[in-house]
Structure formats: structure tokens, C-alpha cells
Amino acid sequence: MSGAYLDKSLKGRDFLTISDFTAEEIRLLIDAAHDLKRDLKKGIPHTILQGKSLGMIFTKPSTRTRVSFEVGMYQLGGYALFLSSQDIQLRRGESLPDTAATLERYLDGIMIRTFDQEDVDELAQYASIPVINGLTDIVHPTQVVADLMTVEEHQGKLAGLKLAYIGDGNNVAHSLLQICARMGVHMTIACPQGYEPDVSVLQAARKDAAKSGVQLEVVEDPVEAVKGADAVYTDIWASMGQEKEQEKRAQVFQHYQVNTELLKGANEDVIVLHCLPAHRGEEITDEVIDGPHSVVFDEAENRLHAHKAIMALLIG
């Protein structure tokens, strides 16, 4: 990772939602992630965050988010501290501003994975150190940096490509809308009625898309959505906090499975993405996730490199 990245660093910025960043800034993050991955494979070390510490607050469980941030911080020379909901008094016996005022005196950055976007925004408001949104119910911004990094890695470009998202209009769909609008990627979401993306998120993304000639569409028919797609993306039908709706959602989304038959309508060199964990046999089949079009585990690996880029540029 060259010094040029640090000269253009986003030092001190919060990473709350993709819409807070320009296309040029997102490009910087993706380029840095590519370079950090390349250097790691070559055995070139980077200690950009030597002596720095990251507090990781989790009120939602995680595999990839925790491991990628913790390992990424270690690889950059820093230290990551895991803080579960049992370890920290987030809105439980202590005000959030008081928690922020305390943590900023110990740490150089905070990553938080939680339910309410308001908690993340308020933490960023009161903490003078960078706050990184590891996921909320409304957006998943760190995930989609890794997603577009993966698409570019396999398709050679971003601008002008088409991404089809099949399933629930959830936090991942929201962040994909935001980043596709900024980076010149056309996106079509296929979802049942009543499960569309948040109207305000969609409208804001369409305003961005109009400036760059990007088409963002929401349809009901998954077959229509994948026509001409360069990438097909899916996620579980019932996210964390929606477990009681699992049986109902399984019925509603039964025709929204990414399978071999659906992929026939996409481009021949289509790639398939999934943010994981996957419910195999529901939103995606074994044949697809383990098949030649799948880049799901490259995508999972790229969480490490994308998160390292975010931390390096915000905290370094």
C-alpha cells in the first residue's frame, strides 16, 4: 500500500453509510483494498496502524465481521478489542454520549455492529474518533465495499455492469443501491410486494444514479431481474431479528431462489455473490454456491481486505 493512499487519507472520518462518500472516495477505498490484498499475498507487511487500537462493539453476533476486523487490525500492526453487549453498558445503565466520551480516551477507532442506525449515528456524534458501521438494520456499508471489490476483481470493471439482487429489500440491498448508484453499476432488485427496499433509501439512490446515468429498478419477477446480469446477488430471507418470520418468509420468497435455472437468463460469464451466512436450499442452491459461477468465498475473503482499507484510511 503506497504512501499515496495515506496522502489522500480519509483520516478522522466516520464510516456510517455509503452515501456519505463520493465516488472518488469509494474508488480510493476499493483501490486500497486491492493493493492490500496483493501485498498480503506477496508477503509484504504493512504496519500502518502500529500502536493503534480498535474497539469492536457487537450487539448482533457475527462471524465474518468480527474475524475480518480483528485479523485486519492485527495485520496492520494494531490491536482490536471485542466488546459484546454483556461487556459494555451501551444504553444500559449509562448514556450513549457518556460511553462515547469514555471510549474515545482509550481507543483510536470504534467499529459497531448493532440493530439501530440511531445508535451508530449518535455514537459518531459524540465520539471524536472514527466510528465504523459494521451493520445495522438499515445499512451494511462495509460489506458492499468488499462486494464491489469482488465484482471488479472477476469482471475487470464496474462502470456499465448490471447487478441483479434477488430477495428481501434489506440492509444489504440498501447499501448496494447506494454504492451502485455512485460507482456506475446498474442494479435491479427482484422482491415480493411488501418486501421492497426502504422508499427514502431508494429515492436518494435514484437521485445519485440520475447524475451518472445509472438505472436502479425494483421488480417482482426474478427472471426479469437477471436478464443480462453480470452479477447476481442474494441474501437470507429472514435476517437477524426476523427469526419469528422465517416460516412466513419461506413461503413468500419460495420463487426467489438463485438456482441454475434462474442463472440461464443472465450473461454467460455471470458471477454469483452472497454476503453469508447462507441458508442452502432456500435462497441459494448447493449447485450454485459451490458451482463455477460462485465467487461467494472470494467475496468473504475480501471482507478482510476491504475492512483493512477502511481502517487504514480512516484511522491511519
Known binding residues for L-ornithine: 171, 235, 239-240
Task: Please indicate whether residue 113 is annotated as part of the active site.
Answer: yes
Which of 13, 34, 66, 140 is the catalytic position?
Answer: 140
Cell 500502518 sits on residue: 48
Taking Cα atoms as reference points, which of 177, 190, 184 lies closest to residue 216?
177
The Cα–Cα gap between 228 and 239 comes to: 28
Which of 143, 147, 178, 257 is the catalytic position?
Answer: 143
Q: Which residues are annotated as a binding site?
A: 62-65, 89, 113, 140-143, 171, 235, 239-240, 275-276, 303
Which of 186, 303, 305, 307 is the catalytic position?
Answer: 303
Task: Please indicate whether residue 13 is annotated as part of the active site.
Answer: no
The Cα–Cα gap between 246 and 237 comes to: 8
Instruction: Quote the cell numbers at residue 269.
Output: 460469464
Taking Cα atoms as reference points, which of 217, 279, 287 lies closest to residue 249?
279
Q: Which residues are annotated as a binding site for carbamoyl phosphate?
A: 62-65, 89, 113, 140-143, 275-276, 303
Helix, strand, or coil here: 215?
Answer: coil
Residues pairing with 164 in the sheet: 188, 232
Q: DSSP letters along 236-247, please?
A: -SS-TT-GGGHH
Q: List Cα–Cα distances, 170 to 21, 61, 132, 305, 314, in angstroms.
A: 20, 17, 19, 24, 26
CB 104 within 8 Å of CB 127: yes
Instruction: Quote the cell numbers at residue 97.
Output: 454520549
Cell 453499476 sits on residue: 185
Task: Please indicate whether residue 303 is annotated as part of the active site.
Answer: yes
Task: Please indicate whether residue 235 is annotated as part of the active site.
Answer: yes
CA-based torsion, 100, 55, 241, 137: positive or negative: positive
Hey, what amino acid is at 289? I
Kindly list the catalytic residues: 113, 140, 143, 235, 275, 303
